Amino acid sequence: MSETHDHSNEHDHATHTHDGKPIQEDPLPSLEAQILEASVRELLIEKGVISADDVRRAIDQVESRTPALGAKIVARAWDDSEFKALLMSDSDEALMAFGVDMRPTELCVVENTDEVHNMVVCTLCSCYPRPVLGVPPAWYKRRDYRSRAVREPRAVLQEFGTQIPDQKQVRVHDSNADLRYLVLPQRPAGTEGWDQEKLARLVTRDSMIGVSDALAASDIGG
């Protein structure tokens, strides 16, 4: 992930990874967008608003935030009921132990149970608990997910391979204002006695958005 962020060249970085394989992804920005980006960045640097070093460090910060942190938080909540109670009631305080600062937003943790399955969307833009999950996946930002997650959540869940029985309530959270949502998935069966590090390996990004469940113990050879 970090092999490209000190390149100043605008072209080479996005076409190949360090092992030389072409990256399959959205088209490169248009020439117009490349010109605008370089122009804005250079003007902001010339005006003393930001420095090139600030940009590099901010990119490091973007890259340092990954769903691995969210997974650690979930694993601890599974393993430590006191921590879980704090996380659900005063997430700011609970997240201090992980060095996470959500301001100016607040983290709202919603727990999956035998009765309720939670799922998160932001219909108006792409609000997402970035300090604990990193940048949102592309599908989370697209029109398809944003439009349909509120109106036909069960159909969308099925597109992720997630089948929720009719007797279980599906609860959609539209993350539209000042809270950011993290789903606390159900702890999989057969994980009694596992330590937090091993538990964290079951916690996927998608399970913390609520479009899937956590992995099964057998998925990681447990």
Partner 1 sequence: MRGPQDYGGMPAGPVDPVKHEHVPTHWEKTVDAMMMLLFDQRRRLARVDESRRMQEALGEDYHKYPYYERWLQAISWLMLEKGVYTQEELEAKKAEVKARLESGNES
Partner 2 sequence: MNPRFQPGDRVKVLHRDQPGHVRTPMYVRGKTGVIERVVGSFPNPELLAVGHSGLPYKMLYRVNFRQGDLWEDYGGPAEDTLEIEIYEHWLAPV
* Residue 81 contact, options partner 2, partner 1, none, Cβ 5-8 Å cut-off depending on partner type: none
**Nearer Cβ to partner 1 (76/134):** 134
* Helix or strand holding residue 111 (H, E): strand 106-111
CA 100 from chain centre, in angstroms, equals 14
Angstrom distance (rounded) from CA 173 to CA 119: 6
Stretch of 72-80, 83-91, 122-130, 181-189 lying at the interface with partner 1 (CB under 8 A): 122-130
* Residue 137 contact, options partner 2, partner 1, none, Cβ 5-8 Å cut-off depending on partner type: partner 1
Contact 93, 156 (CB under 8 A): no
- Between the CA of residue 194 and those of 201, 203, 212, 220, what are the distances in Å? 11, 13, 21, 12
The residues facing 16 across adjacent strands are 22
**Nearer Cβ to partner 1 (50/216):** 50
Q: Which residues are catalytic?
A: 122, 125-127
Question: CB of 41: closest distance to partner 2 in angstroms?
Answer: 22
Longest dimension (CA), the chain: 60
Angstrom distance (rounded) from CA 160 to CA 158: 5
Question: CB of 171: closest distance to partner 1 in angstroms?
Answer: 16
Interface pick for partner 2 out of 15, 89, 169, 218 (rule CB under 8 A): 169
* Helix or strand holding residue 117 (H, E): strand 116-121
Positions touching partner 2 (CB under 8 A) are: 106, 123-124, 150-155, 166-167, 169-174, 176-179
Q: Which residues bind partner 1 (CB under 8 A)?
A: 4-5, 7-11, 13-14, 23, 25-26, 28-31, 33-44, 47, 49-50, 54-55, 58-59, 61-63, 123-126, 135, 137-139, 141-148, 150-151, 156, 159-160, 174, 206, 211
